[in-house]
Amino acid sequence: MPKPGTRILITLSAMFAGVVAARADVQEGRRIAERWCAGCHVVSPQQTTGTEAPPFSELAYRFDFRSRPLGEILAGPHPAMPAMQLGRDDAANLTAYIRSLKK
């Protein structure tokens, strides 16, 4: 049984973690995209070369990511990706970034 003070601290950090997770970070999403997805997808207006993979600016319109979250899309058939574990925060940040490409 933790001391009452400890319990308050635990509660507060849990709340803080919730706030951080809820606020998806577009810039972080862009960094992840440039690191993990840019090898095949054109992920930003600044990127000039890509493959047959659809540009992210197009994916922004093709998916709303509500009915089908990004994590689920990537879990389905998708060309071999470099070994990566897409955490929940990563997926949220990537989603926020892709959405931000809508004009």
Of residues 9 and 64, the one with the C-beta less far from ligand HEC: 64
Of residues 7 and 68, the one with the C-beta less far from ligand HEC: 68
Q: Which strand (E) or helix (H) includes residue 19?
A: helix 4-22
Of residues 12 and 81, the one with the C-beta less far from ligand HEC: 81
Two tokens at 69?
A: 């979250």
Nearest alpha-carbon partner for 102 in 73, 46, 63: 63
Residues 59 and 102: their CA atoms lie apart, in Å, by: 9
CB of 46 to ligand HEC, least distance (A): 17
Residues at the interface with ligand HEC (CB under 6 A): 36-37, 39-41, 52-54, 59, 73-74, 78-82, 94
CB of 74 to ligand HEC, least distance (A): 6
Neighbour tally for 58: CB within 10 Å: 14
CB of 23 to ligand HEC, least distance (A): 20
Q: Strands (DSSP E) along the chain, which ranges?
A: none
